[in-house]
Structure 1
Amino acid sequence: MKFKFPLQKVLEHRKIKENLAQKDFQEAMMLLNEENDRLAQMEQHKTGAHMQAGAFASQGGTQGPALSQIHEFLKGQEIRIHRQKQKIQEIEKLVEAKREILRQSALEYKIMEKMRENKFEEYKQDRLAQDQKEMDEQSILRFKAVKD
């Protein structure tokens, strides 16, 4: 007689649910990383513009229009950076929600897996007891057969 877990379908369903939650979480993390990279690029552009403005200022002369253009770029870049930070905060909330869903799914799967392990241990104990009982009966029958 082979061990058959009565809730095997539920266990498999919960594993699939956990795998899907893991996939969603990884996608959200990838999105967060992309947005953080975008923010880093924006800040690099801002730093480059500051350095360029410093170079123009040290040259002197007729650099006024270039400096005002850089100043306008920096103002716009500050606005973009602020919006990007807000976007990142929203994505971080999404990532935390996905992380919680993943944690809950993993917990549900582990509970079912532990139940399956417990049922398997019970099955093994019952099987051992049944085998021992059969061996005892055979020993008794042999002993009786030898006496007769």
Structure 2
Amino acid sequence: MKFKFPLQKVLEHRKVVENIAQKDFQDAVAVLNEYQTKLDKMRQDILDAQARAGSLLQAGGAQGPALVQIHEFLKGHKIRIQQQEQNIHEIEKIVEAKREILRQAALDYKIMEKTRENQFEEYKAERKIQDQKEMDEQAILRFKGMKES
């Protein structure tokens, strides 16, 4: 007789739920990384603009309009950076929620998998006992057959 886990469908369902949770988590992390990369680029743009302003100041002369333009860019860009940081903070909350969902799904699957393993071990032990009884019975029958001959 072959081992058949009575809750196999539940085990498979929990594995599917875990896989879906894993994909959702990975998608959320990818979005977070994308937002973080965009923020890093925005910060680099500020450094570049400040470097341009510094080089214009070093050059001297009538650089007023260019410096005003850089100053306006920096003001606006700092506001965009604050908005991006706020977006990142919100995405981090989503990632944490997805991580918790994934952790719970993985835990549920592991519990069911452990139950399956325990039942399989019980099955093997019962099977071993049953096989031993059958071998003992066969040995007794052989011994009786030899005795009667």
Q: Is the TM-score greater than 0.5?
A: yes
1:99 is matched with which residue?
99
1:132 is matched with which residue?
132
1:8 is matched with which residue?
8
- Using the aligned pairs only, state the percent identity: 68
2:31 is matched with which residue?
31
Could you give the per-residue CA deviations for residues 86-107 of structure 1, whole angstroms, max 9, x where no partner exists?
0000000000000000000000
CA shift for structure 1 position 125: 0.5
Unaligned runs of 5+ residues in structure 1 are none
SS at match of 1:61: coil
Over aligned residue pairs, what C-alpha RMSD do you find? 0.5
- The answer to whether 1:145 aligns with 2:145 is yes
Could you give the per-residue CA deviations for residues 43-72 of structure 1, whole angstroms, max 9, x where no partner exists?
010000000001111112110010000000
CA shift for structure 1 position 140: 0.8
CA distance in 1, matches of 2:67, 2:139: 103
What is the TM-score with the length of structure 2 in the denominator? 0.98
CA distance in 2, matches of 1:144, 1:41: 89
Match for 1:48: what amino acid?
D
What is the TM-score with the length of structure 1 in the denominator? 0.99
SS at match of 2:125: helix
Runs of 4+ deviating beyond 2 Å? none
Match for 1:144: what amino acid?
K
Could you give the per-residue CA deviations for residues 89-132 of structure 1, whole angstroms, max 9, x where no partner exists?
00000000000000000000000000000000000001010000
